[in-house]
A = this chain, B = another copy of it.
């Protein structure tokens, strides 16, 4: 099976208290643990110890992304594969990171810190394992069900795509191709959804956004209310993507990291899928199907 899931993201935030307050009260994640310089959060329906780590740092951004693998053998296999691509791979011991099993860590050709790991401590979703109700009685804020995917930026999308496919076994679901025939965006899956991670052209090592899952369009509409009632600015949405067909809202956490809430998509056959291609003249529809045009702000990070 190899990599089977985006497990967690560590984000750098210049104001830990402000960020933690936003992620728990507005986005509605659950605070699970806290150390001197880190806050560990999970979405309510996740069972793993955490899916988002806020780490104090002077400049906001993504510290690393953590992906779950099926077995210890996978770690060794990916260690070899990444080294063959020239990556310097570091071993991470069992519970060297809080609540996290053994893993490997390396920088991808796209300039992102990537961790692969086997197992995370289970804390459960707050519902009993015997005769559980379908949801908790009380939820705070938007309360997405789980971390869904990442959108990252890099200088060389085709090179990054090859690494993701050949070294790590990601499958290409959709892509944007420029007029000259170059791949400028690439969307990859390991969960047979429309994307677990995607790359668009930009600075190496950049984070465009991370995205949290909602079950229904009506939850997306409700999320827009909650954001605005809390004074959070919406960048765009509720709207719909052409790529992935998902319904979406983009907005920013208080330190400037773009967040998304997302629902929808389609099943991707991991064996027989033929990627969808968008031509760059249709990029407006590809990104925002209702607006039909890109947002000026959307290409970069928040300033």
Q: A134-B242, A224-B240, A270-B1 are in contact. Are A218 and B217 (CB under 8 A)?
A: yes
In the complex, the count of this chain's copies comes to 4
A216 at the A/B interface (Cβ < 8 Å)?
yes
A212 at the A/B interface (Cβ < 8 Å)?
no
Residues of B within 8 A of A239 (CB): 224, 238
A16-24, A82-90, A288-296: which one contacts chain B?
Answer: A288-296
CB pair B269–A129 under 8 Å, yes or no, is no
Q: List 13 A-B contacts (CB under 8 A).
A: A47-B272, A122-B274, A130-B277, A130-B278, A131-B279, A132-B242, A133-B229, A134-B225, A191-B267, A221-B247, A224-B290, A227-B290, A238-B239
Chain B: minimal CB distance from A120 (Å): 7
Partner of A230, one of B131, B137, B278: B137
How would residues 153 to 176 of chain A score, 1 for a CB under 8 Å from any chain B CB and 0 otherwise? 000000000000000000000000
Residues of B within 8 A of A152 (CB): none
State A2–B102 Cα separation when bound (angstroms): 26
A119 at the A/B interface (Cβ < 8 Å)?
yes
Residues of A within 8 A of B (CB): 1, 4-5, 45, 47-48, 68, 70, 119-120, 122, 129-135, 137, 145-146, 191-192, 215-218, 221, 224-230, 233-234, 237-242, 245, 247, 264, 266-267, 269-279, 282, 285-286, 289-292
State A226–B133 Cα separation when bound (angstroms): 11
State A131–B279 Cα separation when bound (angstroms): 7
Chain B: minimal CB distance from A277 (Å): 5
Q: Which 10 A-B pairs have the closest CB atoms?
A: A218-B218, A134-B245, A131-B282, A137-B229, A224-B290, A130-B277, A234-B290, A217-B221, A216-B216, A133-B229
CB pair B218–A134 under 8 Å, yes or no, is no
CB pair B215–A119 under 8 Å, yes or no, is no
State A137–B226 Cα separation when bound (angstroms): 7
Q: A266-B45, A272-B119 are in contact. Are A279 and B133 (CB under 8 A)?
A: no
Residues of B within 8 A of A68 (CB): 269, 271
CB pair A234–B277 under 8 Å, yes or no, is no
Partner of A131, one of B145, B215, B240, B286: B286
Closest B residue by C-beta to A213? B267
Residues of B within 8 A of A135 (CB): 225, 229, 245
CB pair A145–B266 under 8 Å, yes or no, is yes
CB pair A234–B134 under 8 Å, yes or no, is no
